[in-house]
Amino acid sequence: MTTHFMPATGLLASLDLLDISLSGPLAHLRLNRPAKRNALSDTLIQQLHTALVNLPEGVRAAVVSGEGEHFCAGLDLSELVERDVAGGVLHSRMWHAAFDQLQFGRVPVVAALHGAVVGGGLELAAACHVRVADDSTYFALPEGQRGIFVGGGGSVRLPRLMGVARMTDLMLTGRVLSAQEGVQVGLAQYHVPAGQSLVKAIELASRIATNAPMSNFAVMQALPRIADQSQSEGLFTESLMAAVAESTAEAQDRLRAFLDKRAGKVLKQG
């Protein structure tokens, strides 16, 4: 499968710390601070938020990657020096807003990981819906060694992926996980050879973009909230979301296609 991306225009083209390109229903957002290992400055976080809010209407899935040798080496620590408590809270909340837009925005997001996925970079990846790690990828949370604490939603999202005990280990000891170890503990769902994470991420995003929009919406918006609810509340929420999804015109068309044998069945892969 060949996908041809063209540079974005207008507002998206003006975001200088992101390289944004489009291909039909796909958007590719590449972090573009390679000299800083794509460290997350305030400006980069703000631009990421702006880009996600202003994706073209026809986009149905997005890929996030990093320029250069690393996906993202975390927070730009130079911006933490001499920040007071109030400034720290506002800074963290700015990150929360941007990463909430990743997780609960309009389209599913696939992260193509390589090199460092460290600190804030891991928090960013955790906000995406699907993560692909290549052999060069490594995961770490060095906040304990820096005298700081996660502030981009990591304490909420990462325990849901890897568990509190594993996150505690990474933060207290400075342990670094390989790509394979990251997949084993839930930090990524796919493991590919070095240099292939973007190709795989685009393949997955292309597949996601063909889903019924309401089904994607339900997975993105309802599923994580149901996981936080009690069993009785979750079951009721599930019933409401199932009724909404199956009642759409597109769902009805797809169900008829399957019953009329015009749609393929689920088959074992590989």
Annotation marks residue 143 as catalytic: yes
Residues 53 and 171 in one domain: yes
Per the structure, the count of domains in the chain is: 2
63 and 138, same domain (yes or no): yes
Q: Among residues 67, 69, 82, 143, which one is catalytic?
A: 143
Among 209, 229, 248, which residue terminates a domain?
A: 209
Q: The domain that contains 246 carries what CATH number?
A: 1.10.12.10
Measured N-to-C along each axis, helices 154-162 and 120-127 cross at an angle, to the nearest 10 degrees, of: 70
> Same domain, yes or no, for 232 and 110?
no
Hey, what are 266's tokens?
């689920």
Q: Tell whether 98 and 24 lie within a shared domain.
A: yes
Are 175 and 144 within 8 A, CB to CB?
A: no
Given 57, 79, 123, 203, the catalytic residue: 123
Rounded alpha-carbon distances, angstroms, from residue 92 to 45, 86, 95, 151, 155? 11, 10, 5, 5, 12
26 touches 5 (CB < 8 A): yes
CA distance 103 to 23: 21
Q: What is the pLDDT of residues 30-40, one digit of tens each?
A: 999 999 999 99
* Cα atoms in the 13 Å half-sphere on the side-chain side of 139: 30
| Domain final position from 209, 228, 251 | 209
Owning domain of residue 131: 6-209
Residue 140 belongs to domain with CATH number: 3.90.226.10
Residue pLDDT, tens place only, 146-175: 888 999 999 999 999 999 999 999 999 999
pLDDT one digit per residue (tens) for the chain, 270 residues: 457 999 999 999 999 999 999 999 999 999 999 999 999 999 999 999 999 999 999 999 999 999 999 999 998 877 766 778 998 899 999 999 999 999 999 999 999 999 999 999 999 999 999 999 999 999 999 988 888 899 999 999 999 999 999 999 999 999 999 999 999 999 999 999 999 999 999 999 999 999 999 999 999 999 999 999 999 999 999 999 999 999 888 767 776 766 667 666 656 665
Q: Which residue's entry shows tokens 């309009």?
A: 106
Domain final residue, candidates 209, 230, 245: 209
User: Considering the domain boundaries, does residue 265 fall inside one?
Assistant: no
